[in-house]
Amino acid sequence: MKAGFTLIELLVVLAVLGLLAALAGPPVLAAVERGRAGRVVVDLRTVEVALEAYRADHGHYPPVVVSCMAADRQEVLQLPQELADGGYLPKNERSATSTLLEDPFHPGSTYKYAAPENYWMNGSKQDDRYPVWVPTDFPSCQAPGGKSDDSPNSPLAWAVWSQGPRPDPAKALNDRAPLAASTWYRKTGDHGVIARYKQRDGATWSTLR
């Protein structure tokens, strides 16, 4: 007759498996985070192509989406609906987000977009332009100082970004993200945003390579 495992043997096996899982867990999670960060970098290049195609067709970049209502927080600064409606990005018919191009760190939300262009406020198109905080040393963005700029001649054309794997209210979500280097995600385990931004009639920059 074949003997089975004793309770003590099963407990030892479970303890060993738990130890192995604990040792393997952090490297696996770090690899997942690096993979998602890499996807963000690629996706933001796709958004860049869409934005530049929109500008070529319309003479300006699409408007920004803002809201003063807490219920609309997910849709604030989402990728413009115009990019999906115009076929510049794939449209998402199943959710409030404007496109299927979702932030892998925040499923159900698009990447964020800001530009010194006209904006939608609670579904109503505004004549004013959206003020974006621009560092004094833009485009290097290392200086702590800067100002809000909504002029048509702003040195910033647009910025798109992911809020990153672990948004920090004191860093990734403040009004200086994503153009202040102090708000950028740098390495695995970090807080901060992963962004791409463009000088007006100039080069495009990425905060993570």
Written in H, E and C, the secondary structure of the chain is: CCCCCCHHHHHHHHHHHHHHHHHHHHHHHHHHHHHHHHHHHHHHHHHHHHHHHHHHHHCCCCCEEECCCHHHHHHCCECCHHHHHCCCCCECCCCCCCECCECCCCCCCECEEECCCEEEECCEEEEEECCEEEECCCCCCCCCCEEEECCCCCCEEEEEEECCCCCCCCCCCCCCCCCCHHHECCCCCCCCEEEEEEECCCCEEECCC
Task: State pTM to two decimals.
Answer: 0.82
Per-residue pLDDT of the chain (209 residues; tens, 9 = 90+): 455 567 776 777 777 777 766 665 567 778 889 999 999 999 999 999 999 999 999 999 999 998 765 445 667 898 998 999 999 998 887 766 677 788 999 888 889 999 999 998 887 888 999 999 999 999 999 999 999 999 999 999 999 999 999 876 555 445 688 999 999 999 998 889 999 999 998 999 999 98
What's the distance, Cα to Cα, between the start and end of the chain in Å? Answer: 62
User: What pLDDT score was predicted for residue 199?
Assistant: 97
pLDDT of res. 70: 45
Q: How far apart are the C-alpha atoms of 19 and 25, rounded to whole Å?
A: 10
Q: Is it true that the peptide bond before 139 is cis, omega within 30 degrees of 0?
A: yes
Q: For residue 73, what pLDDT is reported?
A: 60
Nearest to 76, CA basis, from 96, 52, 55, 56? 96
